[in-house]
Amino acid sequence: MKIITGGAGFIGSAICWRLNQLGFEDIIIVDSDREGAKKSNLEHLKFSEFIDKDSFLDKIRNNSFSPSLLERGLGGEVTIYHMGACSSTTETDMDYLKKNNYEYSRYLAGWALNNNARFIYASSGATYGDGSFGFSDDPSMILKLKPLNKYGLSKQMFDIWVMENNLAEKVVGLKYFNVFGPNEYHKGEMRSMVCKAYHQIRKTGKMDLFRSYKPEYENGEQKRDFIYVEDAVDMTVFFDASNPVGKNRPGIFNIGSGNAYTWNRLADSIFKALNMEPCIEYVEMPENIKNQYQYFSYADISRLRTAGYEKEVMSLEDSVSDYIVNYLSKDRYLSL
């Protein structure tokens, strides 16, 4: 049995999609929006049950799951994918972030360990802050990191809790970098640049990129590690309890392409997929994000490779093309 919190969201629904492809259908989706903005993410996928995230937490706290659920899953081969969180990098309510991204995670991790379930949770590349301490997921570096925003801090808090409670050898934490791809359509301003730029270009013929405010970076030459959602979920399910290799690999790992791409290169890839000449306008960065903007990010995935993950990552150009040609231009979601 599989349990996916945030299962109707972007990465969560993509994990369900990949698990379906691998033959798994006994999947519990935990989320709060089955009938709302995220409904379409689940319409073409197979799962056994949908549980509201607050009801799920109550069941964990009270240990009140039904006997049938316990019989068919817990105590056996169970993987819990904890993807549920507030993912807004501009959220400023720290109490809200702490409740959703830290406290919920603590309850769920304890419950998973008490029930002999494989626990895989989403951390974030935002924990690395400005990159002053590099982008290595070596455990010795985790306590040193200084996130630039409160979202990153909430994720860092849980990583630290895992380390301080000696759980890094029992659970799996995944630091996702800039993931893009189908099923992110409900995310509003938190959608990837590929998604937002596609619609902007279709409407205006151009796309906007933020100006650089650091002399060492020309406009559009800021760099990020962009990874297609298909690659991100392949890296994620590698650690599933059903995988003979990955199930024996605990720890905190980076999830990224292993490359640092400029925004200009991303823009060129988008225009190329649309068969258009690039037309970029460099615009002012909003004041509320200037002091928390990452000018460079890069996922060192060497520990993931050492753990046994061997699949090659799709190139930026190929993944952008697949997303635009096969999904965005057709208004398609991930489906079987």
Q: Which residues are catalytic?
A: 151, 187
For residue 162, how far is the Cα from the chain centroid? 18
Please state, in angstroms and rounded to a whole number, the distance separating the CA atoms of residues 252 and 159. 8
At residue 173, the 3 state secondary structure works out as strand
Give the type of residue at 306: T
Nearest alpha carbon to residue 306 among 136, 152, 164, 166: 136
For residue 115, how far is the Cα from the chain centroid? 25
Polymer length in residues for the chain: 336
Bridging pattern class, strands 261-262 and 118-124: unpaired
Burial of 67 (C-beta count, 10 Å sphere; 0-12/13-18/19+): exposed
